[in-house]
């Protein structure tokens, strides 16, 4: 198969879930090209970018200005630039009688690839808000391709809050199939008008072989080490874990809490830690590479991921840092938030608490601190669950099955009992 991925930025270190799909498809003998809106940092990349020579498979679409006037002015430049190379398709992109608003608002012009000679089987938009690029790319470059869009979080929460509940009406009418990376987001898409028979859940996978499982025990006189990984932004809820750990530290000062990450709220969190008098117990260690993160997690006993719904409505799916911690055998504490309850089984692989509830978070932390004998069982349950439902190889195979069945026919329906696409001839 020939597959085009529509992404926002590439390369980008934080989106390994997309990179894992690209490399998985290539490993299985398929051809993947990447079309990005923004060029990322090409000097500091994930090793797979170089191993698979992905920059040679990456093309950058002209950035589409928000301002109509700026879009028109830049559009003249694109017409002059591309007109000599591909005059016929430039004229096609401006045919408002055939393409309507896609042409009128210059979406087609800004998505046109001059001298395009590829015929894709699949165009896969890697976030819902990129589907507008995907629809334009399909119309002007590869009209026979099947268009598939996956909803991942921001695109089905904050973006909808910003743009309104009808923002995806055209996509739901024109798109061939849809995925969501958790059941929570699948239901949100359906509530917005996505046909229930054209969407299924497709988790973001994890290569469990890369994360060594270790049973957790507490040695005599050993500090209880707690860890959190994530961007220091509102949605990650780290303020509440800082307060909860501080509350527990007054009862049991034999704690060490390492927060791995950086972001806009770091100064606020550092001040909070100082105000709470917790500088000796709670440390913000900044960004670490994958090897360094694994080392910290390997030496930890408990993992906290206190995600919350941000003021702008942003929500999380089952986050990768939780999967990684569970794969390594850590009992976890997280929140009843977004798709996280689909990953963490409350009382089995860890505990779930209400969002922004410091007291509940501190109570569950106390349960783990005072009952280290349950760590091993919880850690093993977490590893088993991640292996069963989030295994990368299994999920990449399922993605290929979705693609292959879409190609067979344009008439599709989804049977949720079978958890697979049923094709109607």
Q: Say whether domain 208-389 belongs to CATH 3.40.50.2300.
A: no
Fold of 2-61+113-205+393-423: Rossmann fold (3.40.50)
Q: What is the pLDDT of residues 306-324, one digit of tens each?
A: 999 999 999 999 999 999 9
How buried is residue 373: exposed, middle or buried, by Cβ count under 10 Å (0-12/13-18/19+)? exposed
The predicted model scores a pTM of 0.90
Which band of pLDDT confidence, cut at 50, 70 and 90, is reported for residue 272?
very high
Q: Which two tokens stand for residue 397?
A: 């195979």
- CA neighbor of 229 nearest in space, from 312, 331, 307: 307
pLDDT at 182 exceeding the cut of 70: yes
The pLDDT score that the predictor gives to residue 410 is 60
Cβ(123)–Cβ(4) below 8 Å: yes
Which band of pLDDT confidence, cut at 50, 70 and 90, is reported for residue 411?
very low
The pLDDT score that the predictor gives to residue 325 is 98
The pLDDT score that the predictor gives to residue 313 is 92
| pLDDT more than 90, % of the chain | 89
Say yes or no: do domains 2-61+113-205+393-423 and 208-389 share a fold: yes
Cβ(299)–Cβ(225) below 8 Å: yes
Cβ(113)–Cβ(59) below 8 Å: yes
Average pLDDT over the chain reads: 93
The pLDDT score that the predictor gives to residue 44 is 84
- Kindly list the domain boundaries of the chain, sorted by start residue: 2-61+113-205+393-423, 208-389
pLDDT at 414 exceeding the cut of 60: no
pLDDT at 290 exceeding the cut of 90: no
């Amino acid at each position: 198969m020939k597959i085009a991925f529509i992404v926002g930025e590439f390369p980008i270190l934080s989106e390994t879930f997309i990179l894992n799909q690209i490399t998985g498809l290539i490993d299985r003998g398929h051809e993947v090209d990447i079309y990005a809106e923004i060029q990322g940092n090409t000097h500091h990349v994930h090793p797979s970018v170089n191993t698979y020579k992905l920059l040679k498979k990456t093309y950058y679409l002209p950035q589409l200005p928000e301002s109509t006037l700026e879009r028109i002015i830049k559009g003249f430049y694109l017409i002059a630039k591309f007109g000599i190379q591909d005059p016929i398709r430039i004229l096609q992109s401006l045919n408002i009688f055939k393409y309507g608003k896609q042409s009128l608002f210059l979406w087609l012009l800004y998505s046109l690839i001059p001298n395009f000679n590829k015929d894709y089987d699949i165009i896969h938009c890697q976030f819902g808000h990129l589907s507008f690029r995907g629809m334009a790319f399909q119309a002007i470059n590869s009209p026979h391709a099947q268009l598939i869009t996956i909803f991942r979080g921001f695109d089905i929460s904050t973006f909808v809050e910003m743009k309104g509940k009808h923002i995806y009406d055209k996509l739901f009418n024109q798109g061939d199939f849809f995925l969501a990376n958790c059941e929570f987001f699948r239901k949100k898409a359906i509530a917005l008008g996505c046909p229930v028979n054209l969407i299924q859940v497709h988790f973001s996978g994890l290569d469990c072989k890369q994360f060594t499982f270790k049973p957790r025990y507490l040695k005599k006189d050993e500090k209880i080490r707690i860890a959190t990984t994530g961007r220091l932004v509102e949605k990650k809820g780290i303020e509440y874990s800082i307060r909860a750990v501080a509350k527990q530290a007054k009862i049991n000062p034999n704690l060490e809490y390492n927060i791995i990450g950086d972001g806009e709220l770091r100064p606020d969190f550092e001040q909070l830690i100082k105000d709470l008098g917790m500088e000796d117990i709670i440390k913000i260690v900044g960004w670490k590479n994958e090897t360094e993160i694994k080392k910290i997690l390997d030496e930890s006993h408990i993992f906290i991921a206190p995600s919350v719904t941000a003021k702008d409505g942003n929500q999380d799916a089952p986050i990768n840092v939780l999967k990684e911690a569970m794969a390594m055998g850590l009992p976890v504490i997280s929140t009843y938030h977004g798709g996280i309850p689909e990953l963490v089984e409350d009382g089995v692989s860890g505990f779930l608490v209400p969002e922004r509830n410091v007291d509940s978070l501190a109570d569950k932390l106390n349960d783990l601190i005072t009952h280290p004998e349950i760590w091993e069982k919880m850690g093993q349950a977490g590893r088993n669950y991640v292996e069963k439902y989030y295994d990368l190889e299994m999920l990449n195979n399922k993605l290929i099955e979705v693609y292959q069945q879409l190609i067979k026919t344009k008439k599709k329906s989804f049977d949720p009992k079978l958890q697979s696409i049923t094709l109607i001839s």
